[in-house]
């Protein structure tokens, strides 16, 4: 019984490997045909058109960080001033949450937490 299931598992793995290879082959064929499909005579002219259409930006999955607005620019570091610290203290006393304070002042939640800790506004465990 176990040996039959192992044979089935090996057959399923072989089929999966075959499917993965056929998909890879099909993808290569489709990608190679893209320049001609859109009327380009060379791959380099096609790539130049793609770069022009994307504004020269090249993005890869998992590479680099993109701001929540999707603009592709990193957020600049907030400068924490004495005024910012005073605003955080006031907002904490008004009952606002850390995330509300961070959003309203344009600083990160860890910055809010650090300010609260330095001001003694955090309860000890």
In a domain, residue 28? The reply is: yes
**Which domain range does residue 37 map to?**
2-53
Q: What's the total number of domains in the chain?
A: 2
pLDDT class of 1 with cuts at 50, 70, 90: confident
Judge if 81 and 47 occupy the same domain.
no
Q: Specify whether 122 is located in the same domain as 80.
A: yes
Residue 72: predicted pLDDT: 59
77-122 pLDDT, tens digit each: 888 899 999 999 999 999 999 999 999 998 999 999 999 999 888 8
pLDDT, tens digit (0-9, with 9 covering 90-100), for 31-88: 989 899 989 988 888 888 888 888 766 666 555 544 455 555 666 788 889 999 999 9
Residue 63 in domain? no
Residue 66 domain-assigned?
Answer: no
b (16+ CB within 10 A) / e for 9-46:
eeeeeeeeeeeeeeeeeeeeeeeeeebeeeebeeeeeb
Q: Is residue 59 part of a domain?
A: no
pTM of the model: 0.41
């Amino acid at each position: 019984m176990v040996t039959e299931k192992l044979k089935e598992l090996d057959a399923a793995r072989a089929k999966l490997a075959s499917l993965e290879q056929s998909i890879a082959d099909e993808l290569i064929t489709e990608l190679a045909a893209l320049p001609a499909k859109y009327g380009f005579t060379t791959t380099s002219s096609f790539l130049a058109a793609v770069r022009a259409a994307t504004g020269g930006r090249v993005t890869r999955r998992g590479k680099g960080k993109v701001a929540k607005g999707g603009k592709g620019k990193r957020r600049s570091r907030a400068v924490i001033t004495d005024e910012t610290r005073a605003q955080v203290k006031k907002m904490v006393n008004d009952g606002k949450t850390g995330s509300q304070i961070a959003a309203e002042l344009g600083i990160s939640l860890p910055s809010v937490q650090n300010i609260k800790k330095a001001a003694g506004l955090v309860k000890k465990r």
